Amino acid sequence: MTSKLVLASNNPGKLAEFGTLLATIGFDVRPQGQFNVPEADEPFHTFVENALEKARHAARLTGLPALADDSGVCVNALAGQPGVQSARYAGAPKSDVRNSEKLIADLQTHTDKSAYYYCVLVYVRHADDPQPVIADGRWKGTIIDVPRGSNGFGYDAYFEVDGLGKTAAELGAAEKNQLSHRAQALRVLLDKLR
């Protein structure tokens, strides 16, 4: 028997990735837009608080269990920035190009270019769930000055994956979905939900 689960996102890539894997343990994943749920505010300074807020928001407005993620790139020399502000690092409106340009400019005076993508997933059974299921994943790499690759989005073309010699934007979807911070977090979540 399958149970409906609302994904606190309308991103088709996330829906496909999460939907396929969660179907293996009996969930029918639906995007929040299917229920006319607007995007939740993300007012917090931590990934876990923002993901929890998004999950509770979707569960509250649909009456269904919900799954949310919050993720971004954290650069060690910049004390973890852009972090939760990754999508809005260069200000409004959101722009992958401007965000990447700002990141490269901010790193010009630093020799340490190490970074990691970080993802937190939060699953709630209902809006007031006192025991949300929380999983996280970290994908280590280095920020490079010249972009490489055309796959992916965000900072992917500037994020060279540790040990591969390729940027995240040079990886195919299947390889990225095995290695990424989101894939790591999802595997942890699946183990906890089983």
Please identify every residue annotated as catalytic. Answer: 70
Distance separating alpha carbons of residues 69 and 182, to the nearest angstrom? 8
- Please name the residue that has the structure tokens 């999460």: 18
Q: Report the SS3 class of residue 73.
A: strand
Token pair in block for residue 170? 């040079």
CB under 8 Å to 22, separation ≥6 — which residues? 5, 29, 67, 190
Distance separating alpha carbons of residues 9 and 33, to the nearest angstrom? 8
Q: What DSSP state is assigned to residue 14?
A: H
